[in-house]
Amino acid sequence: MKIGLFGINLGPLGEVDAMVQVAQAAEAAGLESVWTGEHVVLPDPQIPPSPSGPQVPFLDPAIALATIAAATERIRLGTGIIILPQRNPLVLAKELASLDVVSKGRLIFGLGAGYLEPEFRALGAPFEERGAVTDEAIDVLKALWTMESPEYNGTHFRFSGIDAQPRPVQKPHPPIVIGGMSKPAARRAALRGNGWYGFMTDLEATQRSIDWIGEYATERDSALGEVEISVTPPPPVTAETVAQYAEIGVSRIVAVARARSVDEMLDFVDELGALTS
């Protein structure tokens, strides 16, 4: 089981020195990866289903992970997740390819379709069409990262006669991990992703998504390989937790702490490190 840490860019780690200190500790403890969260804006005052108060700091994922890349050597850098339909995929392709280059091939690109309508509205992003936009945006990213002469002709995005450099270090591109607990998210992971990521999903919910992914197995391009399953379980994460998720096919636990300070985060990293040995 690969063990990662969620939330490297937010809350108590929304300050650069704290973020770097915890990332370095995670690498030293033998963790496989650190993962960012993302909300560009949040409703103020907080309203359901907003996950965080509006004053919680969320450093931009690409900037945070580039900073961590410069301060570490081996640990993988995951976006968990970037809300893809809120982003221009051509700009994002440049940002993520650059991140893969400066990290020497350590990026894991986690994405999701999003769910917070006030955030979409503030950004002028298409909430009702977010699923279709997400699917096209994934295809756009792959075109820009892999095609000799990138072109795309879809409903939401169209281009030709361009190039986009640099290309990612990882070939054909960084792992694409699809987040979300819905059946459309499972289908997206099966048809377009290298992996699936469930956030705060218990064993039952995880198994349900794994079963949904299996339903689309016959439609999956074999070149994508197996769907790697990553999960952030509800706390606490123990050796028993790891064993239970491994039994149903989970390959990576991305643990989240209920920490309120850097010291508590460092203690949590030590606990996770003990699970890797």
What is the pLDDT, as a whole number, of residue 228?
Answer: 98
pTM over 0.95: yes
CB 99 within 8 A of CB 107: yes
- Give the burial class of 243: count Cβ atoms within 10 A of its Cβ; 0-12 exposed, 13-18 middle, 19 or more buried: exposed
Over residues 66-76, the mean pLDDT reads 98
CA–CA separation, 43 vs 153, rounded Å?
Answer: 35
Count: domains in the chain: 1
What is the pLDDT, as a whole number, of residue 277?
Answer: 76
What is the pLDDT, as a whole number, of residue 167?
Answer: 98
182: CATH: 3.20.20.30
pLDDT tens-digit profile of 144-172? 999 999 999 999 999 999 999 999 999 99
Percent of the chain at pLDDT exceeding 70: 100
Residue 84 has pLDDT above 80, yes or no: yes
What is the pLDDT, as a whole number, of residue 258?
Answer: 86
pLDDT tens-digit profile of 249-271? 999 999 999 899 999 999 999 99
Residue 197 has pLDDT above 80, yes or no: yes
Share the mean pLDDT of the chain.
97
Domain that holds residue 204: 2-276
Contacts 24+ apart (CB under 8 A), 21-28: 21/262, 21/266, 22/262, 22/265, 22/266, 22/269, 23/68, 23/71, 23/72, 23/75, 24/71, 24/72, 25/266, 25/269, 25/270, 26/75, 26/269, 26/272, 26/273, 27/72, 27/73, 27/74, 27/75, 28/273
CB 152 within 8 A of CB 182: no
